[in-house]
Amino acid sequence: MAVKTLVPELGGLLGKRDDVFPPLPAFVLATTVSLVFLYAILAYNSSSAYPGFPFVGKDEKTKSTWQLKMLWVKQAKKLIYETLGKADKPFQLMASTGPLIILPAHFMDEVRNDDRMTFSAALKKDFFTTYPGFEGFRPAVDNHVFTKSVRIGLTQAIGQVTEILSQEMAGMLRGMWPEKDEWTSTAFNQDALSIITRLSSRIFLPEPLCHNPEWLDIAVNYTVDFFTAAFVLRMYPTFLRPFVHWFLPQTRKIRKEVAAATRIVEPELERRRKEKAAAIAAGKQPPKYVDALAWMEAAAEDGYTTYNYVWGQLNYSLGAIHTTSMTFVYVVYDLIEHSEYIPLLREEIAAVWKPGDVLTKNVLYNLKLMDSFMKESQRLSPVTLMPMNRVAQETVTLSDGTVIPKGAGLGIPITAMTDEKFHKDPLTFDGHRFYNLRQEPGNETKYQFVTTSNEHIAFGHGKHACPGRFFASNEIKIALVQMLSTYDFRFPPGKGRPVPLENGVSMVPDPKGLIQYRRRQK
């Protein structure tokens, strides 16, 4: 792959002018460089492993870093669960980002709020934001501003946002799924992506910009392309990445998408700057907006005047669309698989809402069985097996004497979410599980879908828990209310639930997985 990619690129780059670079030397040079790259990928070893931790997966057949990274891609779940099943102790393996220390779940309280082990550093380590020229490949750029904008903007405006989403969703689903009495097959993973992208974009950007087809394509594709590029880039040794990313088609595509996003969003930013300046000059208050551009501006006021709002918009897409759509897919799959809950949820919906009305924050809060069902779906079908990721900013000694070296990456997997110490019959789906727990005194808010705990870390836990989880919860509930009220759905006859695709610790819905829908038969 590297040779086929790099030879044409370097050959074309170096051979444009025969009077400067004769064709033969250019080809020889390109081929030589490409072979060196390929050799480095296949041969570089895992000498950067952390001392004092057992190294899982390394043997005589699998010993180069490239081989170990491919083992992670294919068998991360097996490696993690089998190793912790034998001994509930820290160990390390070679993740796609490099050596990674895996901590058992009982270390959660020591890690979750310790400022010596930070999430932002994990983002930087994971996505190579320190290299020059990685424009458009930086989810961690000004992460403080991005996180703050979600907390002070999106979360605080959740009531107003919910009503806007309700109106946006009202006609969207019927346009996507015509109301017919015959069963119709559809690739629901793609439908879910479209639904969540349109809902999210309606909040992140103003009208009509949020409906721009080119922007919607970028919002969907950027995340897929970003993680694809990250995966390919991680296969190269660290010392080659600052150079090779200029030539990889995956990273070049990312830069093109950022350029297109800038072309789409920048005119709106310029319009607002002029509008604000004119209002101030006239002694008036500048207009206020309810969208991510305004929230980022408010969060960036102190010392972040050069904050890149286009990157910020792409950060919103990166964080909000695909994880939410995957969670949504698995909830719908569980509804079909456990169809006895469909009439119960329809009854709950009918008690607090009728079709045609605007869905409000209060209506969604009262859908407590739906909330429980979503949380149970997330417990058994998480989108990632390791949402808790940190990098040690200094050497840290844990309570059992384990020493985490400075600069080490570490993670805590979700094993507690299916541990019988915390959940009765942990591998059995029970849509009422968290509904019943919330009926007990003092538990009303403890077991909501958005609540994190040591035993439920699908959204992370502690001060770095996902700040957009309240928005994601409302998006999924709004979509489910419309779907359950309007359609019946099932898996195609003779086909069961689509099996997710494992990529490292990510559990990705099969893009070809089908469901069927028809007009609801009352």
* Per-residue confidence (pLDDT) for residue 333, from 0 to 100: 98
* Per-residue confidence (pLDDT) for residue 35, from 0 to 100: 45
Strand order in the sheet with 184-187: 184-187, 514-519, 487-490
- Other CB atoms closer than 10 Å to residue 171's CB: what's the count? 10
The full set of domain ranges for the chain reads: 1-40, 143-206+289-387+416-456+466-519
* Per-residue confidence (pLDDT) for residue 236, from 0 to 100: 80
* Per-residue confidence (pLDDT) for residue 28, from 0 to 100: 42
E-assigned strand segments in 292-376: none
* Per-residue confidence (pLDDT) for residue 146, from 0 to 100: 67
Give the 3-state DSSP-derived string for 170-226, with helices as H, strands as E and coil as C: HHHHHHHCCCCCCCEEEEHHHHHHHHHHHHHHHHHCCCCHHHCHHHHHHHHHHHHHH
The pTM of this model reads: 0.86
Tell me if residue 519 falls in helix, strand or coil: strand
Backbone region of residue 98 per phi and psi (left: phi > 0; alpha: psi in -120 to 50; beta: other values): left
* Per-residue confidence (pLDDT) for residue 234, from 0 to 100: 78
Residues in Cβ contact with 118 at an 8 Å cutoff, skipping those fewer than 6 apart: 390, 391, 393, 464
Topology annotation, domain 143-206+289-387+416-456+466-519: Cytochrome p450 (1.10.630)
pLDDT along the chain (522 residues), means of 10: 28 32 40 48 58 86 80 92 93 90 94 80 46 41 65 77 88 88 96 94 92 94 86 79 86 92 94 92 89 83 67 85 95 98 98 90 96 98 93 92 93 95 96 96 92 94 86 96 95 95 92 95 84
What does the alpha-carbon distance between residue 79 and residue 77 come to, in Å, rounded to a whole number? 6
Token pair recorded at residue 93:
């393996």
What does the alpha-carbon distance between residue 88 and residue 108 come to, in Å, rounded to a whole number? 13
Q: How far apart are the first and last CA of the chain?
A: 55
What does the alpha-carbon distance between residue 311 and residue 317 come to, in Å, rounded to a whole number? 10
